[in-house]
Structure 1
Amino acid sequence: MNSPTSCGRTWCISEDSLRRYVQFASESCIQELLSASDRFGNGNDGWKVLTLGNGVEMSKRRSGSFHTFRSRWILRSVSPKQFIMVANAIDAAKQWDTGLMEARYIKDLEDNLSIIRLRFGENSRPVFKNREFIVYERRETMEDGTMVVAIASLPKEIAAGLQLPKQNNAIRGLLLQSGWVVEKLEHDSCMVTYVVQLDPAGWVPKWLVNRLNMKLVMIIEKLRKLALACPTADTDHHL
């Protein structure tokens, strides 16, 4: 990575360095997501199934201080293109918490690679209250047509180099890993795998964070309703 560029008393990161870091980090995230979707035949691979039934599986895997949670859903009459239109950082964050105050694209590094800011306010739940996340979003289509959306926070040092001042002393949390794998099934249906591991930072009990992470993977049902409301699967959508 290039040396940081001086910006007065602080420093900023060059766009080339930012792009190369995010390309590397997002490739690793994509491989983790594909592995979690079991496309590689890894079996459970450390995942413990919590619930299973009606085409829905909920699992968790121990990973550092906070568990990683996974949900896998069979969505009937929802095509991959329909679902992928709403499977993005901003639409997902709107389902996480009604206290979302700001959700905007900061920078497009490539056609399928963007930097996004998510900011939650005073009215959010305790784990989101006065918190913000600076994340990348990368979208890829595999050779077999499987669609992948990888979303994760930039490291604090990289985020600081973007020269984005915190709003109202907000705590900058970390979306350690998250994203979607959307596989086509027959009859315009799809299998959706969603993985999330979030550290809200600040003083929050680990058990509460793990409970939050478990609830976050349930937003597929809300996104399914948004996808069904999309006028057409062929409509262009900003990535």
Structure 2
Amino acid sequence: MSGDPALVPDDRAFDNFRRECTREDGWNMTYNKSRCTVWTQTLEEEKSLHRIKCRVLCNDVAAGTMYDVLHDIDYRMKWDNNVIETFDIAKLTVNADVGYYSWKCPKPLKNRDVVALRSWLPVEDGYIIMNYSVKHPEFPAKKDLVRAVSIQTGYFIQSLGPSSCTLTYLAQVDPKGSLPKWVVNKSSQLLAPMTMKRIHKACVKYPAWKACNNPTHKPWLYPEQNSLPSMPLGELRVQHADSLENIDESSVTESSLALPDKEEHSDEEAH
């Protein structure tokens, strides 16, 4: 399989990611409401691509709980309304694996999927989880889904105390499909805040759920619990967007897009 070899991020990569999550210069704020803030950034070298950063303050969630929720694939099927299918494929190191995720997009856009190398690391003031797209020989693009490309996506969970934290989501993704610019704007102004608030609500409910669902099983904390098959890193290659078929969705109009209801816009005020 040709292409750039996949690499597990080193400490410098985690440090750079954390730094980008916390700095605000060079970013354009597009949303700031109910303890949730969104910034976007247009990349000069590729005008069609954007980066998005979204941060939410959670006064009633411990950083460790947030970390567990973002890792727990069984719980994700309970709270993530957009998920179609998600599963871990193989472990690469004690803090890296490769997995599959497909999700629903608002009609008439086609649904997307991604195969990604994910790595994670506890840091002094919290946790980092990040991923990027890879080619896996057994999981090629599907005909009924658009294979998106995560150039770099991840979360920085910063502890603010024993029962509070901030969650910062940073993403540079090529969704393919030649999407019009207004779709990106809608994503930053509506969909991203809704998703962050949904994660917050999921975190509040997680301790009670986990207590009844294999409560001691946390392979992201205890690598000896990881039962995934091991896979040589050399079998993976970086997934570049230009090697995938480009589905043209540029003609989609705003009036035709079936956006979800503006749920949870004020529900955080009670927390």
Structure-2 change in CA distance of 1:102 and 1:186 (3 Å):
closer
Q: Aligned residue for 1:228?
A: 204
CA distance in 1, matches of 2:84, 2:59: 33
For residues 56-75 of structure 1, what are the structure 2 equivalents within 5 Å? 56-63=36-43, 64=46, 65-75=48-58
Find the counterpart in structure 2 of residue 22 from structure 1: 7
Structure 1, unaligned stretches of length 5 or more?
1-10
- Structure 1 residues 199 and 94, CA gap change in structure 2 (3 angstroms): farther
Residue identity opposite 1:79 in structure 2: A
Identity of aligned residues (%): 19
- TM-score, normalising length from structure 2? 0.65
- Say whether the 8 Å CA contact 1:69–1:214 is kept in structure 2: no
SS at match of 2:70: coil
For 2:52 and 2:133, the matched residues in 1 are separated by: 17
Distance in 2, Cα, partners of 1:87 & 1:93: 11
Does the alignment pair 1:112 with 2:95?
yes
2:40/2:188 contact within 8 Å kept: no
Contact 2:57 2:167 in 1 (8 A): yes
Give ranges in structure 2 of 5+ residues lacking alignment: 221-271
| Distance in 2, Cα, partners of 1:200 & 1:92 | 21
Which whole-Å CA distance do the structure 1 matches of 2:171 and 2:103 have between them?
Answer: 18
Deviation by residue 1:72-127 (Cα, 9 ceiling, x = unmatched): 222112000111112249577987763x3321111110122111112346xx4248
Paired residues, what number? 210
Per-residue Cα deviation, 1:208-228 (whole angstroms, up to 9, x for no partner): 144325545321211111111
Question: Could you tell me how far 1:32 is from its partner in structure 2?
Answer: 4.1
Alignment pair present for 1:35 and 2:7: no
Q: 1:187 to 1:136 in 2, by over 3 A?
A: same
Q: Cα distance 1:162–1:49, how it changes in 2: closer, same or farther (>3 A)? A: same
Q: Measure, in 2, the Cα distance between the counterparts of 1:89 and 1:36.
A: 25
Change (3 A) 1:49 1:119: closer
Q: Does 1:137 align with 2:118?
A: yes
CA RMSD of superposed structures (Å): 3.2
What amino acid does structure 2 have at the position aligned with 1:36? E
TM-score by length of 1: 0.72
Counterparts in 2 of 1:193-212, with a 5 A limit? 193-212=168-187
Among residues 54, 57, 63, which one is paired with 1:80 in the alignment? 63
* Counterpart-to-counterpart distance in 2, 1:60 and 1:120: 22
Pairing of 1:47-62 with structure 2 (within 5 A): 47-62=27-42
Query: Deviations for 1:129-165, whole angstroms, at most 9, x for unmatched residues?
Result: 24321112111011x24200112222xxxx0x52323
Distance 1:174 1:93 in 2: 22
Q: Look up the match of 1:4.
A: none
